[in-house]
């Protein structure tokens, strides 16, 4: 057993001398491993597979090869097994698939929204004209409903265009911390009435960045609203900023004490129309729009749940404290 394999099992190479591999594997794994070994002996055919393994709560991917070794008589008398840790490659693969998915979703959403935008504008224009001309009060009311609902559609279309980065942004020099604080100040009072408090931990060394203040504020507000929605019983939101001079990035962190996000949902939260909220309470566009805006700033937005310890908001005594979700927005310092 070499050092890498021993490390992956959390053992020292010395301590395993003279022992069987099966002693170190999970009982389940032993069974499968022995079965496969037997098959290589029986068929003379090697195996090649990727297996997933949980170690210390971390998922590892191993690429495992078994090769039959034949003696002078041509019979298989040994099997050589080698395992390579491919966790990192697997993670890159997953990131790539996610990036490709978001790109094609963006194209689709942008295309549809673009096509619908023009006829929608015409419907709205005619509805408004007819409403003005209508003599009949009931007719005016009906046309008012058409007008209102068309505006709802127009908002969705505008959000989709935002997600696909087809809406124009107006970038200028702006202060990152101020932008975050403006959003926090805007919602703080209403959130407090719903027993959701906001704590801020700002990096005071923040330089000026180049961005669209209105759009970025929209991102912060979307993240704050989502955290609030996740905590109907109240809780705490932690908002932190930090400057990374080495990487030349500024980062905003939004974490909460809510119930967090299911592992299988983590990949979908940025998809347009993904929402776990009741109909009428969420369209599922907030994070898609935020994703589009951050992309337009050449940044990254990511999510993890539960919240890692260093970002966990401190909760007041007796307040419910769930695993929570952490949203991280990275923006480059210099995009010009």
Ligand X SMILES: Nc1ncnc2c1ncn2[C@@H]1O[C@H](COP(=O)(O)OP(=O)(O)OP(=O)(O)O)[C@@H](O)[C@H]1O
Looking at the chain, how many residues does it have? Answer: 336
Q: Which does 329 bind (CB under 5 to 8 A by kind): ligand X, Mg ion, none?
A: none
Nearest-angstrom CA–CA distance, 139 and 273: 33
Residues 110, 211, 235, 286: which binds Mg ion (CB under 5 A)? Answer: 286
For Mg ion, give the closer residue by CB, 5 or 273.
273
**Residue nearest to ligand X as judged by C-beta position:** 286
Residue 162 interacts with Mg ion (CB under 5 A): yes or no: no
Nearest-angstrom CA–CA distance, 218 and 292: 11
Peptide bond into 306 cis (omega under 30): yes
**Minimum CB separation from ligand X for residue 315, in Å?**
15
Q: What is the DSSP string of 3-65?
A: HHHHHHHT--GGGGTTS-GGGTS-HHHHHHHHHHHHHHHHH---EEEEEEEEETTEEEEEEEE
**Minimum CB separation from ligand X for residue 164, in Å?**
15
For ligand X, give the closer residue by CB, 62 or 230.
230
282: left (phi over 0), alpha (psi -120 to 50) or beta: beta
Residue 284 interacts with ligand X (CB under 6 A): yes or no: yes
Q: Per-residue x/- mask for Mg ion, residues 195 to 234, rule CB under 5 A? A: -------------------------------x--------
Nearest-angstrom CA–CA distance, 336 and 322: 41
Q: What is the DSSP string of 159-228?
A: HHHHHTT-S----EEEEHHHHHHHHHHHHHHHHHHTTEEEEEE--TT--EEEE-HHHHHHHHHHHHHHHH
**Minimum CB separation from Mg ion for residue 174, in Å?**
24
60-119 residues in contact with ligand X (CB under 6 A) are none
Residue 227 interacts with ligand X (CB under 6 A): yes or no: yes
Q: Per-residue x/- mask for ligand X, residues 242 to 281, rule CB under 6 A? A: --------------x-x--x-------x----xxxx----
**Assigned token pair, 97:** 């698939």
**Assigned token pair, 332:** 């480059």
For ligand X, give the closer residue by CB, 178 or 276.
276
Residue 287 interacts with ligand X (CB under 6 A): yes or no: yes
Residues that bind Mg ion (CB under 5 A): 226, 286
Residues that bind ligand X (CB under 6 A): 222, 226-227, 230, 256, 258, 261, 269, 274-277, 282-288, 325
């Amino acid at each position: 057993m070499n050092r890498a394999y021993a490390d992956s099992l959390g053992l020292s190479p010395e301590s395993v001398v003279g022992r069987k591999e099966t002693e170190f594997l999970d009982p389940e794994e032993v069974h499968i491993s022995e079965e496969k070994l037997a098959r290589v002996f029986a068929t003379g055919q090697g195996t090649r597979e990727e297996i997933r393994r949980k170690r210390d709560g971390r998922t590892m991917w191993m690429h495992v090869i078994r090769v039959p070794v034949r003696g002078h008589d041509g019979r298989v008398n040994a099997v050589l097994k080698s395992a390579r840790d491919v966790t990192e490659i697997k993670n890159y693969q997953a990131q790539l698939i996610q990036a490709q998915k978001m790109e094609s979703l963006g194209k689709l959403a942008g295309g549809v929204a673009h096509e619908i935008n023009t006829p929608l504008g015409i419907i709205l224009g005619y509805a408004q004209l007819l409403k003005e001309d209508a003599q009949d009060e009931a007719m005016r009311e009906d046309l008012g409903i058409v007008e209102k609902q068309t505006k709802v559609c127009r908002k969705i279309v505008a959000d989709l265009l935002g997600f696909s980065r087809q809406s124009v942004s107006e970038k200028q020099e702006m202060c990152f911390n101020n932008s975050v604080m403006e959003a926090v100040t805007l919602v703080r009072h209403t959130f407090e009435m719903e027993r959701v408090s906001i704590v801020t931990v700002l990096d005071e060394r923040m330089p000026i960045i180049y961005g669209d203040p209105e759009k970025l504020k929209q991102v912060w507000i979307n993240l704050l609203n989502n955290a609030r929605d996740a905590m109907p019983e109240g809780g705490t939101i932690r908002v932190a900023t930090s400057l990374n001079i080495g990487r030349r990035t500024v980062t905003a962190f939004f974490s909460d004490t809510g119930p967090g996000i299911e592992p299988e949902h983590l990949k979908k939260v940025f998809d347009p129309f993904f929402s776990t909220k009741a109909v009428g309470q969420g369209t599922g566009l907030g994070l898609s729009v935020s994703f589009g805006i951050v992309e337009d700033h050449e940044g990254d937005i990511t999510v993890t749940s539960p919240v890692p310890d260093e970002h966990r908001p401190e909760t007041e005594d007796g307040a419910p404290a769930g695993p929570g979700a952490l949203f991280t927005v990275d923006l480059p310092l210099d995009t010009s």
